[in-house]
Structure 1
């Protein structure tokens, strides 16, 4: 994929300063092509980036040290395609977010980003066979209507969602909470390789970024931002799954919840959402009817 000179500068900046686009807005207003960063006084750059003078100075040093590094070519060598926010391949749905990724790093079929119908299916890392059963009823109608299934490659419900998409002949996108050199969880390596070969892996983090507690909540906003609606199978009342729902509500997305037994702690989240106005779902046709028909 061809990138402009300004996009190459963005890749260099994002490598040493991997923050969402809203954190770069002041800088881009005064220096849209990112030509002047090395020449700014550190105090002024710190103001533009809302960071400390010390961090701004270190950032300038790193940019000077790596000024000739061809990041786009290095990524290509690792089968990683970076998509800056200025690139035509960058999804319009993400542009509408308050804090969109400045760069998406991708592996696989980038054309899936342009698909018009995407449904997120999420749930607990401790999801039970009930989630798998629910997906056997929800995913096939979605696949039949060319929906791309979006999830987070985590243990439990996320894994089930990706596998269900594969089993029923659909396409799927996995949004990672880390860079490509640090796949998590390790037991999903085979699944991740399958998706990189025929589907799509994406992340907003450069390859060296390791998984941290704070990276996964950030990842969740991309899952909801990409999708037209979010389906929750099983989730505790307070969980990462519910934080994804909060992002989805902020983005104006429809929420569908699978009802569960009142004796199950993992049904507390979906049942609470249903009480608060989420749509009841036990078949993918309900999602289709709500969003398309």
Structure 2
């Protein structure tokens, strides 16, 4: 198993290889061994990609020393978990399209903490959002619940900050590598979470944020806990992507209602109409638990 794990780490560091491609390689050969001896033509046929791209992958696979150097460099600054490792988050392992490799900073045991809840919402919260968090999430924190969120502006940041104010643990899921924290204004918050919680990314430390990374990381935010709580969301909020992921994963979804006159509550009201549980206080969550 250790050899398979090592090969997976190599493949994960090959830039042209996507997660879905690696899954396809694993389906073809669980040991991941034969792929390293493939010709460009064989790579092209297996992955259904142009020969030009297959040539790039072939070149990377032949330079194992370069891949090993990158992995060794990463291991000096963070803990790397693969889907084969015992420390890998158990709830995350069972979701569709689970991340194959995770890079972590902080206390990795927190990914198994029970109970936990993902708290998400708009990047432009209303003035009442902090009070909503205090009213609903505060009592959960007092009962030693762990909060998961995404370090984004708005509700994500407020959720992490509230957990830290209560001297409780929190997990942040990033859409970039650790060398490129986004948004930059949250670097101090990132450092606080590393010291008092756990930060997770499926991207190697040197990978800068890309637009598509954030919808991708949302499946991890919802997947790593049993329930997702939406504090505020506009009608077309990116928060809805996380909610869809949570529902696809069979997770509970809670939504906080609010004034019909502000745009930050429209998304929550639509979620409730579509079947999300209306939450007015922490007991609404605790009763389900």
TM-score between the two structures when normalised by the length of structure 2: 0.94
Query: Is the Cα contact below 8 Å between 1:19 and 1:102 reproduced in 2?
Result: no
2:267 matched residue in structure 1: 269
Aligned equivalent of 2:286, options 281, 285, 288? 288
Cα distance, 1:169–1:284 mapped onto 2, change above 3 Å: farther
1:127 matched residue in structure 2: 125
Query: Is the Cα contact below 8 Å between 1:11 and 1:71 reproduced in 2?
Result: no
Write the distance in 1 (CA, Å) between the matches of 2:261 and 2:42. 57
Cα offsets for 1:15-64 (capped at 9, x unmatched): 114633x4323311333232232311222223333433222221121122
1:143 matched residue in structure 2: 141
Cα offsets for 1:198-249 (capped at 9, x unmatched): 2111011111221111110001111011121111111111121011101011
Write the distance in 2 (CA, Å) between the matches of 1:100 and 1:47. 24
Structure 2 spans left out of the alignment, 5+ residues: none
- Is 2:195 the partner of 1:197? yes
Cα offsets for 1:146-169 (capped at 9, x unmatched): 321000000000000000111122
1:173 matched residue in structure 2: 171
CA RMSD of aligned residues (A): 1.7
Query: Is the Cα contact below 8 Å between 1:127 and 1:266 reproduced in 2?
Result: yes
SS in 1 for 2:128: helix
1:86 matched residue in structure 2: 84
Query: Is the Cα contact below 8 Å between 2:173 and 2:200 reproduced in 1?
Result: yes
1:57 matched residue in structure 2: 55
SS in 2 for 1:129: coil
TM-score between the two structures when normalised by the length of structure 1: 0.92
- Is 2:6 the partner of 1:8? yes
1:241 matched residue in structure 2: 239
Cα offsets for 1:121-161 (capped at 9, x unmatched): 10011012311101101122222333210000000000000
Write the distance in 2 (CA, Å) between the matches of 1:45 and 1:288. 51
2:98 matched residue in structure 1: 100
Number of corresponding residues: 287
Write the distance in 1 (CA, Å) between the matches of 2:24 and 2:246. 26
1:231 matched residue in structure 2: 229
1:278 matched residue in structure 2: 276
2:220 matched residue in structure 1: 222
Write the distance in 1 (CA, Å) between the matches of 2:6 and 2:46. 20
Query: Is the Cα contact below 8 Å between 1:120 and 1:223 reproduced in 2?
Result: yes
Write the distance in 2 (CA, Å) between the matches of 1:131 and 1:23. 41
Write the distance in 1 (CA, Å) between the matches of 2:157 and 2:45. 42
Write the distance in 2 (CA, Å) between the matches of 1:154 and 1:93. 23
Query: Is the Cα contact below 8 Å between 1:179 and 1:207 reproduced in 2?
Result: yes
